[in-house]
Amino acid sequence: MLSMTKSLQRVRGTQDILPELETKFHWIKEQARLVSSKSGFSAIETPLFEMSEVFHRTLGETSDMVFKETYTFLDRGGDSITLRPEGTAGIARAFISEGLAQKLPLKFYYSGPMFRYERPQKGRYRQFHQIGIECLGLDHPFSDVEAISMAADLLKKLGLEKSNRLLINTLGDAESRATYRTQLVDYLTKYKNELSADSQLRLEKNPLRILDSKDAQDKKIIQDCPKMQNSLNTNSLHFFDQVQKGLSQLGISYTVDPYLVRGIDYYTHTVFEFVTDLLGAQGTLLAGGRYDGLIETMGGPATPGVGWAAGLERLAELLPSELIARSILDVAVIPADDVSELWALEVANAVRKQNQVCEILWGGNVGKKMKKASNMKARFAFILGSTESSSKTVTFKNLSTGAQESKSLPETLRAISTI
Protein backbone atom coordinates (compact mmCIF):
# COMPACT_ATOMS: atom_id res chain seq x y z
CA MET A 1 0.00 0.00 0.00
CA LEU A 2 2.87 2.38 0.81
CA SER A 3 4.56 1.85 -2.56
CA MET A 4 1.25 2.33 -4.35
CA THR A 5 0.72 5.64 -2.52
CA LYS A 6 4.22 6.82 -3.41
CA SER A 7 3.78 5.92 -7.06
CA LEU A 8 0.70 8.13 -7.25
CA GLN A 9 2.51 11.27 -6.14
CA ARG A 10 3.24 14.07 -8.61
CA VAL A 11 6.59 13.84 -10.34
CA ARG A 12 9.07 16.17 -8.65
CA GLY A 13 9.10 19.58 -10.28
CA THR A 14 5.52 19.38 -11.58
CA GLN A 15 2.27 20.74 -10.21
CA ASP A 16 -1.44 20.21 -10.64
CA ILE A 17 -3.06 23.30 -12.14
CA LEU A 18 -6.10 23.49 -9.87
CA PRO A 19 -9.08 25.72 -10.77
CA GLU A 20 -7.90 28.86 -8.93
CA LEU A 21 -4.51 28.82 -10.65
CA GLU A 22 -6.03 27.81 -13.99
CA THR A 23 -8.31 30.86 -13.75
CA LYS A 24 -5.22 33.05 -13.41
CA PHE A 25 -3.48 31.25 -16.29
CA HIS A 26 -6.52 31.76 -18.51
CA TRP A 27 -6.69 35.44 -17.61
CA ILE A 28 -3.00 35.99 -18.40
CA LYS A 29 -3.19 34.12 -21.71
CA GLU A 30 -6.28 36.08 -22.74
CA GLN A 31 -4.56 39.41 -22.03
CA ALA A 32 -1.49 38.24 -23.98
CA ARG A 33 -3.71 37.25 -26.90
CA LEU A 34 -5.42 40.66 -26.89
CA VAL A 35 -2.13 42.60 -26.70
CA SER A 36 -0.57 40.47 -29.44
CA SER A 37 -3.52 40.51 -31.82
CA LYS A 38 -3.70 44.32 -31.66
CA SER A 39 -0.18 44.38 -33.12
CA GLY A 40 -1.00 41.93 -35.91
CA PHE A 41 0.27 38.73 -34.29
CA SER A 42 -1.42 35.38 -35.01
CA ALA A 43 -1.49 32.22 -32.90
CA ILE A 44 0.87 29.33 -33.59
CA GLU A 45 1.32 25.99 -31.83
CA THR A 46 4.31 23.71 -32.33
CA PRO A 47 4.79 20.12 -31.05
CA LEU A 48 5.75 19.47 -27.44
CA PHE A 49 8.75 17.50 -28.67
CA GLU A 50 11.15 17.88 -31.57
CA MET A 51 14.14 16.09 -33.01
CA SER A 52 16.91 16.85 -30.49
CA GLU A 53 19.01 18.72 -33.06
CA VAL A 54 16.37 21.48 -33.19
CA PHE A 55 17.32 22.47 -29.65
CA HIS A 56 20.81 21.05 -29.13
CA ARG A 57 22.24 22.65 -32.24
CA THR A 58 20.45 25.99 -32.03
CA LEU A 59 20.63 26.60 -28.29
CA GLY A 60 24.36 25.86 -28.14
CA GLU A 61 25.84 22.73 -26.66
CA THR A 62 27.34 24.69 -23.75
CA SER A 63 24.17 26.56 -22.80
CA ASP A 64 22.77 25.47 -19.45
CA MET A 65 19.51 24.58 -21.16
CA VAL A 66 21.22 21.91 -23.27
CA PHE A 67 24.19 21.06 -21.08
CA LYS A 68 22.14 20.33 -17.94
CA GLU A 69 18.43 20.75 -18.43
CA THR A 70 16.85 19.16 -21.50
CA TYR A 71 14.68 16.07 -21.33
CA THR A 72 16.24 14.03 -24.14
CA PHE A 73 15.56 10.37 -24.95
CA LEU A 74 15.58 7.83 -27.78
CA ASP A 75 12.16 6.92 -29.10
CA ARG A 76 11.27 3.43 -30.31
CA GLY A 77 12.53 4.26 -33.77
CA GLY A 78 15.94 5.17 -32.40
CA ASP A 79 15.56 8.92 -33.00
CA SER A 80 16.83 11.34 -30.36
CA ILE A 81 13.85 13.37 -29.15
CA THR A 82 13.80 16.37 -26.82
CA LEU A 83 10.85 17.86 -24.97
CA ARG A 84 10.79 21.54 -25.86
CA PRO A 85 12.63 23.67 -23.26
CA GLU A 86 11.59 26.95 -24.94
CA GLY A 87 9.43 28.16 -27.81
CA THR A 88 11.65 30.03 -30.26
CA ALA A 89 13.64 27.18 -31.81
CA GLY A 90 10.48 25.18 -32.54
CA ILE A 91 8.92 28.14 -34.31
CA ALA A 92 12.11 28.65 -36.32
CA ARG A 93 11.98 24.96 -37.31
CA ALA A 94 8.34 25.38 -38.38
CA PHE A 95 9.33 28.42 -40.45
CA ILE A 96 11.82 26.28 -42.36
CA SER A 97 9.91 23.00 -42.66
CA GLU A 98 6.60 24.66 -43.57
CA GLY A 99 8.23 26.85 -46.26
CA LEU A 100 7.13 30.19 -44.81
CA ALA A 101 9.98 32.32 -46.16
CA GLN A 102 7.76 33.76 -48.90
CA LYS A 103 5.28 35.10 -46.33
CA LEU A 104 7.61 37.40 -44.40
CA PRO A 105 7.25 39.30 -42.20
CA LEU A 106 5.57 36.86 -39.84
CA LYS A 107 4.27 37.63 -36.36
CA PHE A 108 3.34 34.80 -33.99
CA TYR A 109 2.24 34.46 -30.40
CA TYR A 110 2.08 31.19 -28.50
CA SER A 111 1.40 29.62 -25.12
CA GLY A 112 1.98 26.18 -23.69
CA PRO A 113 4.07 23.92 -21.46
CA MET A 114 7.88 23.72 -21.59
CA PHE A 115 10.21 21.22 -19.92
CA ARG A 116 13.59 21.66 -18.23
CA TYR A 117 15.35 19.43 -15.74
CA GLU A 118 16.16 22.12 -13.19
CA ARG A 119 16.33 22.04 -9.40
CA PRO A 120 12.74 22.79 -8.37
CA GLN A 121 12.25 25.87 -6.21
CA LYS A 122 9.79 28.69 -5.77
CA GLY A 123 8.78 29.92 -9.22
CA ARG A 124 10.74 27.18 -11.03
CA TYR A 125 9.26 23.90 -12.23
CA ARG A 126 10.42 21.11 -14.50
CA GLN A 127 7.16 21.39 -16.40
CA PHE A 128 6.28 25.05 -16.62
CA HIS A 129 4.17 27.23 -18.89
CA GLN A 130 5.06 30.16 -21.10
CA ILE A 131 3.47 32.78 -23.28
CA GLY A 132 5.59 34.42 -25.95
CA ILE A 133 5.83 36.27 -29.24
CA GLU A 134 8.14 35.94 -32.25
CA CYS A 135 8.50 38.45 -35.09
CA LEU A 136 10.39 37.12 -38.13
CA GLY A 137 11.68 39.05 -41.13
CA LEU A 138 12.13 42.54 -39.70
CA ASP A 139 15.64 43.83 -38.92
CA HIS A 140 14.69 47.37 -37.92
CA PRO A 141 15.62 48.41 -34.36
CA PHE A 142 12.12 49.71 -33.86
CA SER A 143 10.88 46.13 -34.22
CA ASP A 144 12.74 45.51 -30.96
CA VAL A 145 11.07 48.59 -29.48
CA GLU A 146 7.64 47.34 -30.52
CA ALA A 147 8.32 43.93 -28.97
CA ILE A 148 9.40 45.54 -25.70
CA SER A 149 6.41 47.88 -25.82
CA MET A 150 4.05 44.91 -26.19
CA ALA A 151 5.67 43.29 -23.15
CA ALA A 152 5.25 46.50 -21.14
CA ASP A 153 1.60 46.75 -22.24
CA LEU A 154 0.95 43.18 -21.15
CA LEU A 155 2.49 43.71 -17.72
CA LYS A 156 0.40 46.86 -17.35
CA LYS A 157 -2.78 44.97 -18.24
CA LEU A 158 -1.84 42.42 -15.59
CA GLY A 159 -1.44 45.18 -13.01
CA LEU A 160 2.32 44.60 -12.69
CA GLU A 161 3.71 47.80 -14.19
CA LYS A 162 4.81 49.16 -10.78
CA SER A 163 6.39 45.93 -9.54
CA ASN A 164 9.04 45.47 -12.24
CA ARG A 165 11.85 47.28 -14.03
CA LEU A 166 13.22 46.90 -17.55
CA LEU A 167 16.87 46.01 -18.12
CA ILE A 168 18.36 46.16 -21.63
CA ASN A 169 21.74 45.49 -23.21
CA THR A 170 23.24 44.87 -26.62
CA LEU A 171 25.34 41.92 -27.74
CA GLY A 172 26.18 43.71 -30.99
CA ASP A 173 26.31 42.18 -34.44
CA ALA A 174 28.49 39.17 -35.34
CA GLU A 175 31.58 41.32 -35.93
CA SER A 176 31.25 43.19 -32.63
CA ARG A 177 30.55 40.01 -30.74
CA ALA A 178 33.68 38.35 -32.18
CA THR A 179 35.81 41.34 -31.17
CA TYR A 180 34.40 41.33 -27.66
CA ARG A 181 34.77 37.57 -27.35
CA THR A 182 38.52 37.86 -27.99
CA GLN A 183 38.90 40.61 -25.39
CA LEU A 184 36.82 38.74 -22.82
CA VAL A 185 38.71 35.48 -23.28
CA ASP A 186 42.06 37.28 -22.95
CA TYR A 187 40.90 38.79 -19.66
CA LEU A 188 39.25 35.68 -18.19
CA THR A 189 42.09 33.35 -19.12
CA LYS A 190 44.24 35.11 -16.52
CA TYR A 191 41.73 33.94 -13.89
CA LYS A 192 40.90 30.54 -15.34
CA ASN A 193 41.89 28.55 -12.26
CA GLU A 194 39.76 30.82 -10.05
CA LEU A 195 36.61 30.46 -12.14
CA SER A 196 33.87 27.99 -11.26
CA ALA A 197 33.89 24.62 -13.03
CA ASP A 198 30.96 25.67 -15.24
CA SER A 199 32.69 28.91 -16.24
CA GLN A 200 35.93 27.12 -17.03
CA LEU A 201 33.98 24.98 -19.50
CA ARG A 202 32.24 28.04 -20.96
CA LEU A 203 35.55 29.84 -21.39
CA GLU A 204 36.39 27.43 -24.20
CA LYS A 205 33.10 27.55 -26.10
CA ASN A 206 30.76 30.28 -24.87
CA PRO A 207 32.61 32.87 -22.75
CA LEU A 208 29.80 35.45 -22.83
CA ARG A 209 27.75 33.13 -20.66
CA ILE A 210 30.24 33.68 -17.84
CA LEU A 211 28.86 37.22 -17.51
CA ASP A 212 25.59 35.65 -16.34
CA SER A 213 27.23 33.38 -13.76
CA LYS A 214 25.61 33.25 -10.33
CA ASP A 215 28.82 32.01 -8.68
CA ALA A 216 30.11 34.53 -6.11
CA GLN A 217 33.77 34.17 -7.14
CA ASP A 218 32.87 34.51 -10.84
CA LYS A 219 30.98 37.71 -10.05
CA LYS A 220 34.05 39.22 -8.42
CA ILE A 221 36.21 38.38 -11.43
CA ILE A 222 33.83 39.81 -14.03
CA GLN A 223 33.43 43.13 -12.20
CA ASP A 224 36.57 44.42 -13.93
CA CYS A 225 36.20 42.60 -17.24
CA PRO A 226 36.02 44.47 -20.56
CA LYS A 227 32.61 45.97 -21.41
CA MET A 228 30.70 44.98 -24.53
CA GLN A 229 29.96 48.63 -25.34
CA ASN A 230 33.65 49.27 -25.99
CA SER A 231 33.69 46.62 -28.74
CA LEU A 232 30.64 47.76 -30.67
CA ASN A 233 31.16 48.79 -34.28
CA THR A 234 29.31 51.69 -35.89
CA ASN A 235 26.38 49.55 -37.01
CA SER A 236 25.87 48.04 -33.57
CA LEU A 237 26.17 51.39 -31.80
CA HIS A 238 23.59 52.91 -34.14
CA PHE A 239 21.21 49.98 -33.71
CA PHE A 240 21.32 50.15 -29.92
CA ASP A 241 21.04 53.94 -29.95
CA GLN A 242 17.87 53.69 -32.04
CA VAL A 243 16.40 51.14 -29.64
CA GLN A 244 17.01 53.49 -26.72
CA LYS A 245 15.54 56.45 -28.59
CA GLY A 246 12.46 54.43 -29.48
CA LEU A 247 11.89 53.38 -25.87
CA SER A 248 12.29 56.97 -24.69
CA GLN A 249 9.85 58.15 -27.36
CA LEU A 250 7.23 55.78 -25.94
CA GLY A 251 7.95 56.78 -22.36
CA ILE A 252 9.27 53.33 -21.41
CA SER A 253 11.81 53.57 -18.60
CA TYR A 254 14.84 51.28 -18.77
CA THR A 255 18.29 50.65 -17.34
CA VAL A 256 21.26 49.52 -19.44
CA ASP A 257 22.82 46.48 -17.75
CA PRO A 258 26.22 45.68 -19.34
CA TYR A 259 26.21 42.20 -17.76
CA LEU A 260 22.83 41.18 -19.19
CA VAL A 261 23.24 38.29 -21.63
CA ARG A 262 21.04 35.44 -22.80
CA GLY A 263 21.65 31.83 -21.89
CA ILE A 264 21.15 30.83 -25.52
CA ASP A 265 23.72 31.24 -28.28
CA TYR A 266 21.55 32.62 -31.08
CA TYR A 267 20.90 36.12 -29.69
CA THR A 268 22.39 39.26 -31.29
CA HIS A 269 21.94 43.00 -30.73
CA THR A 270 19.15 43.76 -28.21
CA VAL A 271 18.53 41.63 -25.14
CA PHE A 272 16.10 42.64 -22.40
CA GLU A 273 14.43 41.49 -19.20
CA PHE A 274 11.58 42.74 -17.05
CA VAL A 275 12.63 41.85 -13.49
CA THR A 276 11.04 42.10 -10.05
CA ASP A 277 12.27 41.97 -6.47
CA LEU A 278 9.10 40.22 -5.28
CA LEU A 279 9.97 36.65 -6.25
CA GLY A 280 13.33 36.13 -4.58
CA ALA A 281 16.03 34.55 -6.73
CA GLN A 282 13.61 33.86 -9.59
CA GLY A 283 13.08 37.53 -10.37
CA THR A 284 12.76 37.52 -14.17
CA LEU A 285 9.15 38.01 -15.25
CA LEU A 286 9.68 38.30 -19.00
CA ALA A 287 12.81 38.08 -21.17
CA GLY A 288 13.76 38.19 -24.81
CA GLY A 289 15.82 39.78 -27.53
CA ARG A 290 16.95 39.67 -31.14
CA TYR A 291 18.17 36.46 -32.80
CA ASP A 292 19.11 37.29 -36.38
CA GLY A 293 21.38 34.25 -36.81
CA LEU A 294 19.06 31.51 -35.58
CA ILE A 295 17.24 30.39 -38.72
CA GLU A 296 20.39 30.48 -40.83
CA THR A 297 22.11 28.31 -38.20
CA MET A 298 19.30 25.78 -38.65
CA GLY A 299 19.84 25.60 -42.41
CA GLY A 300 17.19 28.10 -43.45
CA PRO A 301 17.55 31.43 -45.23
CA ALA A 302 19.11 34.32 -43.32
CA THR A 303 16.09 35.73 -41.47
CA PRO A 304 16.09 38.33 -38.70
CA GLY A 305 13.94 37.76 -35.65
CA VAL A 306 13.01 39.23 -32.29
CA GLY A 307 10.77 37.94 -29.53
CA TRP A 308 10.18 37.32 -25.84
CA ALA A 309 8.66 34.82 -23.45
CA ALA A 310 7.19 34.98 -19.95
CA GLY A 311 6.46 32.28 -17.40
CA LEU A 312 2.83 31.90 -16.39
CA GLU A 313 3.69 30.56 -12.95
CA ARG A 314 5.68 33.65 -12.02
CA LEU A 315 3.14 36.08 -13.46
CA ALA A 316 0.29 34.28 -11.70
CA GLU A 317 2.06 34.51 -8.36
CA LEU A 318 2.09 38.30 -8.62
CA LEU A 319 -1.29 38.74 -10.30
CA PRO A 320 -3.44 41.19 -8.28
CA SER A 321 -6.52 39.31 -7.12
CA GLU A 322 -8.86 42.21 -7.95
CA LEU A 323 -8.14 41.77 -11.66
CA ILE A 324 -9.89 38.41 -11.66
CA ALA A 325 -12.17 39.05 -8.70
CA ARG A 326 -15.26 39.42 -10.88
CA SER A 327 -17.33 36.35 -10.24
CA ILE A 328 -17.20 33.69 -12.92
CA LEU A 329 -20.54 32.38 -11.56
CA ASP A 330 -23.47 34.53 -12.60
CA VAL A 331 -26.36 32.47 -11.23
CA ALA A 332 -26.77 29.78 -8.59
CA VAL A 333 -30.07 27.98 -9.11
CA ILE A 334 -31.47 26.68 -5.82
CA PRO A 335 -34.34 24.17 -6.02
CA ALA A 336 -36.12 24.19 -2.65
CA ASP A 337 -37.76 20.77 -3.01
CA ASP A 338 -38.02 17.72 -5.26
CA VAL A 339 -40.97 19.20 -7.16
CA SER A 340 -38.94 22.20 -8.34
CA GLU A 341 -35.94 20.26 -9.61
CA LEU A 342 -37.32 19.80 -13.13
CA TRP A 343 -38.08 23.52 -13.30
CA ALA A 344 -34.51 24.17 -12.10
CA LEU A 345 -33.14 22.26 -15.11
CA GLU A 346 -35.19 24.40 -17.50
CA VAL A 347 -34.23 27.65 -15.76
CA ALA A 348 -30.51 26.82 -15.74
CA ASN A 349 -30.63 25.88 -19.42
CA ALA A 350 -32.24 29.24 -20.27
CA VAL A 351 -29.58 31.14 -18.29
CA ARG A 352 -26.76 29.31 -20.08
CA LYS A 353 -28.29 30.03 -23.48
CA GLN A 354 -27.97 33.70 -22.50
CA ASN A 355 -24.20 33.11 -22.25
CA GLN A 356 -24.11 33.41 -18.48
CA VAL A 357 -22.45 30.96 -16.12
CA CYS A 358 -24.93 29.00 -14.07
CA GLU A 359 -24.82 26.11 -11.59
CA ILE A 360 -27.63 24.16 -9.97
CA LEU A 361 -27.01 23.45 -6.30
CA TRP A 362 -28.38 20.01 -5.55
CA GLY A 363 -28.98 18.51 -2.11
CA GLY A 364 -29.26 20.12 1.31
CA ASN A 365 -31.69 22.72 2.59
CA VAL A 366 -32.20 26.18 1.14
CA GLY A 367 -30.20 27.89 3.88
CA LYS A 368 -27.10 25.79 3.22
CA LYS A 369 -27.47 26.29 -0.52
CA MET A 370 -27.70 30.06 -0.10
CA LYS A 371 -24.54 30.04 1.99
CA LYS A 372 -22.81 27.95 -0.65
CA ALA A 373 -23.92 30.34 -3.39
CA SER A 374 -22.45 33.22 -1.41
CA ASN A 375 -19.17 31.36 -0.88
CA MET A 376 -19.04 30.66 -4.62
CA LYS A 377 -19.34 34.44 -5.20
CA ALA A 378 -22.41 34.03 -7.38
CA ARG A 379 -24.01 37.28 -8.53
CA PHE A 380 -27.59 36.00 -8.20
CA ALA A 381 -29.43 33.18 -6.49
CA PHE A 382 -32.54 31.83 -8.24
CA ILE A 383 -34.75 30.27 -5.54
CA LEU A 384 -37.28 27.82 -6.93
CA GLY A 385 -40.01 26.19 -4.85
CA SER A 386 -43.31 24.53 -5.69
CA THR A 387 -44.95 27.95 -6.20
CA GLU A 388 -42.33 29.04 -8.73
CA SER A 389 -42.48 25.66 -10.42
CA SER A 390 -46.23 25.73 -10.92
CA SER A 391 -46.34 29.40 -12.00
CA LYS A 392 -43.17 29.23 -14.11
CA THR A 393 -41.68 32.13 -12.22
CA VAL A 394 -38.33 32.78 -10.52
CA THR A 395 -37.59 34.32 -7.15
CA PHE A 396 -34.19 35.86 -7.62
CA LYS A 397 -31.91 37.55 -5.11
CA ASN A 398 -29.05 39.92 -5.85
CA LEU A 399 -26.35 38.58 -3.55
CA SER A 400 -24.48 41.90 -3.56
CA THR A 401 -27.38 44.14 -2.51
CA GLY A 402 -29.75 41.64 -0.89
CA ALA A 403 -32.63 42.83 -3.10
CA GLN A 404 -35.13 40.05 -3.93
CA GLU A 405 -38.18 39.83 -6.21
CA SER A 406 -40.21 37.36 -8.28
CA LYS A 407 -40.77 37.56 -12.03
CA SER A 408 -41.44 35.34 -15.00
CA LEU A 409 -38.38 33.61 -16.41
CA PRO A 410 -38.07 35.90 -19.48
CA GLU A 411 -38.42 39.01 -17.25
CA THR A 412 -35.83 37.62 -14.84
CA LEU A 413 -33.34 37.00 -17.62
CA ARG A 414 -33.80 40.52 -18.95
CA ALA A 415 -33.42 41.96 -15.45
CA ILE A 416 -30.13 40.27 -14.59
CA SER A 417 -28.64 41.06 -18.01
CA THR A 418 -28.83 44.77 -17.21
CA ILE A 419 -27.19 44.52 -13.77
- pLDDT tens, position by position, 251-273: 999 999 988 987 566 789 999 99
Contact, 84 vs 90, CB < 8 A?
yes
CATH class, range 2-173+233-322? alpha beta
* Mean pLDDT value across the chain: 91
| pLDDT value at residue 329 | 86
Give the other-Cβ count within 10 Å of 30's Cβ. 11
In this structure, of 184-198, 276-290, 330-344, the range with the lowest mean pLDDT score is 276-290
Question: What is the average per-residue pLDDT within 168-189?
Answer: 92
Instruction: Say how far apart CA 264 and CA 266 lie, in whole Å.
Output: 6
pLDDT tens sequence across 105-114: 999 999 999 9
- Class of the domain covering 327-417: alpha beta
Angle made by CA atoms 19, 24, 26, in degrees to the nearest 5:
90
Is beta strand 331-335 parallel, antiparallel or unpaired with respect to 284-290?
unpaired
Mean pLDDT of 311-329: 79
Q: Which residues contact 36 (CB under 8 A, 6 or more apart)?
A: 107, 109, 133, 150
Strand (E) or helix (H) holding 176: helix 174-189
pLDDT of residue 8: 80
Alpha-carbon distance of 214 to 263, in angstroms, equals: 12
Q: What does the pLDDT average to over 52-65?
A: 70
What mean pLDDT is predicted for residues 11-39? 93
Residue 62 has pLDDT above 50, yes or no: no
- Of the candidate ranges 86-100, 150-164, 314-328, 389-403, the one whose mean pLDDT is the lowest: 314-328
- b/e 105-131 (16+ beta carbons within 10 angstroms → b): ebbbbbbbebbbebeeeebbbbebbbb
Asked whether residue 122 carries a pLDDT value surpassing 80, the answer given is no
Domain range summary for the chain, segments of one domain joined by +: 2-173+233-322, 327-417
Q: pLDDT tens digits, residue range 360-405?
A: 999 889 999 999 999 988 999 999 999 999 999 999 999 999 999 9
For residue range 183-219, what is the model confidence (pLDDT) as tens digits?
999 999 999 999 999 899 888 878 888 988 888 999 9
With CA atoms as reference, report the closest residue to 168 among 2, 338, 290, 63.
Answer: 290
Output the pLDDT for position 314: 92
Q: How much of the chain, in percent, has pLDDT values that exceed 70?
A: 93
- pTM here is 0.84
Neighbouring CB atoms inside 10 A of 363's CB total: 7
